[in-house]
Amino acid sequence: MNGPDTSRARILEAAAYMLKTRGLARTKLSDIAERAGMLAPSLYHHFRSKNQLVEEVMVEGIYRNTRHIMQRVEVLGPDAPSLARLTAAITAHIDFLLTGDDFASAVGQVFHDLPDETRHRVLAAYSTFDNYWRDLIVGAQRSGACRSSMDPTVMRKFLIAMLDSSSGWFRPGKLSAQEIARQACELFLHGFAT
Amino acid sequence: MNGPDTSRARILEAAAYMLKTRGLARTKLSDIAERAGMLAPSLYHHFRSKNQLVEEVMVEGIYRNTRHIMQRVEVLGPDAPSLARLTAAITAHIDFLLTGDDFASAVGQVFHDLPDETRHRVLAAYSTFDNYWRDLIVGAQRSGACRSSMDPTVMRKFLIAMLDSSSGWFRPGKLSAQEIARQACELFLHGFAT
DNA sequence: GTCTATAATCAGATAGAC
DNA sequence: GTCTATCTGATTATAGAC
């Protein structure tokens, strides 16, 4: 049942959890190790450095999230209206962040503290994600469903910031992930005013 | 012309700039000192520790930003329609972030890495800011200008996250702060769809 | 009030036993 | 593959001269 890297995977999950919860500077290797059931030096059997470990978490988080969103959009079929595609993407993103993918949440939390060199490589992985959103937004404008008077880059930045923030303030037991996703769609597409 | 704490003020400004630009973990005391025209140990004549210096930057940033927003809203007079008040607040916030107040930008950048004890105190200062936005939003709902079907807390979190993000991606020479503010108002109040 | 040492701390990383 | 022990390096912080 276990592949050759069970403990490697456990370490990555522990790291993702700690990074999402406490950020980069406040997570020590010993915290990650403890959560993975071992001591800090053992991590070096699986990863060359803290940076490499963090980088893998980031890239994995971006990859998982992108793939999840794409699936939930593409299942609608190639002829789905662009607003339906946008709605599916927003809902998928919130869902994924709030329903326990620590990797995806860690990305937003840690990205801006990454050392320059690491950040460049992570940025490359991020571009797939970013481009997908750009296409959804530009597509919605081209189809006439969204306003061309709005700058698509600004819309994307605002939207992603808004969605990403949710993993920082979401508390289970209050509004559900579904309800938050619904409000995000409403707000982004139709606004708060009556 | 110079009060008793000119260099103290210079240090705070240097710290705000470094914190907004590089985040907490990546700003060293020596960076702050250099920007203030002195060497790291000299900072200890003015501040007890890095934490205390950072805390003062945070509290000052929150205070300045809150005061700026309140002024720009209250100048409309007590009978201004609630949408005008919201619009003024959004515009003021973006303006303040993008037109060079490093203290305000540093808050969003650094807040989540603060050591627990510091963060608690900063959070107390933050509540004035937060409550003001809450009142603007709830007021707009009560007046009927904004939809009661939306959760006011979620709207506030989404709005502030969206606005705060701008200091991270704004680049002078592209869209102006005014234009970004306009798009933020449009998006938040009327949405992106046609 | 700012400097030149220098100490203290702490976290990342390595060596080598088991 | 994980441990104990140790090293290294970076950064905060202190002592004390000027």
pLDDT digits (tens, 9 = 90+) for A78-118: 999 999 999 999 999 999 999 989 999 999 999 989 999 99
Whether residue A31 lies inside any domain: the answer is no
Whether residue A41 lies inside any domain: the answer is no
Whether residue A167 lies inside any domain: the answer is yes
Residue B4 pLDDT grade (very low, low, confident, very high; cuts 50, 70, 90): low
Residue-wise pLDDT for B120-160, tens only, equals: 999 999 999 999 999 999 999 999 999 999 999 999 999 99
Whether residue B1 lies inside any domain: the answer is no
Among B150, B153, B162, B180, most A C-beta atoms within 10 A, so best to mutate, is B162
Any idea what the CATH number is for the domain that residue A162 is in? 1.10.357.10
Contact B66, B129 (CB under 8 A): yes
Q: B193 vs A169: CB contact, 8 Å cut-off?
A: no
Contact A145, B142 (CB under 8 A): no
Among A166, A175, A157, A35, smallest CA distance to A105 is for: A166
Residue B5 has pLDDT above 80, yes or no: no
Whether residue A57 lies inside any domain: the answer is yes
Q: Between vectors from CA B153 to CA B163 and to CA A112, what angle results, nearest 5°?
A: 40
Residue percentage of chain A with pLDDT more than 90: 96
The whole-number average pLDDT for the span A154-168 is 98
Q: How many domains does chain B have?
A: 1
Q: What is the distance between the alpha carbons of residues A104 and A93, in angstroms, rounded to a whole number? A: 9
Residue A25 pLDDT grade (very low, low, confident, very high; cuts 50, 70, 90): very high
Q: Which of residues 44-83 of A have CB within 7 Å of strand D?
A: 45-46
Q: What is the distance between the alpha carbons of residues B134 and A184, in angstroms, rounded to a whole number? A: 18
Query: Identity (one letter) of the amino acid at A11?
Result: I
**Domain interval for residue B177:** 51-190
Whether residue B38 lies inside any domain: the answer is no
Residue bearing the bigger pLDDT, B2 or A83 = A83
Neighbours of B48 (CB within 10 A): 9
Residue A136 has pLDDT above 80, yes or no: yes
3-class DSSP state for residue A146? strand
Residue B50 has pLDDT above 90, yes or no: yes
**pTM reported for the whole predicted model:** 0.96
Residue-wise pLDDT for A30-73, tens only, equals: 999 999 999 999 999 999 999 999 999 999 999 999 999 999 99
Q: Between vectors from CA B119 to CA B27 and to CA B114, what angle results, nearest 5°?
A: 25
pLDDT score, position A100: 83
Query: Identity (one letter) of the amino acid at B154?
Result: V
pLDDT score, position A4: 54
The whole-number average pLDDT for the span B28-34 is 98
Q: What is the distance between the alpha carbons of residues B187 and B58, in angstroms, rounded to a whole number? A: 29
pLDDT score, position B3: 56
Whether residue A75 lies inside any domain: the answer is yes
Residue B194 has pLDDT above 80, yes or no: yes
Whether residue A143 lies inside any domain: the answer is yes
Q: Which of residues 37-56 of B have CB within 7 Å of strand D?
A: 40-41, 44, 48-51
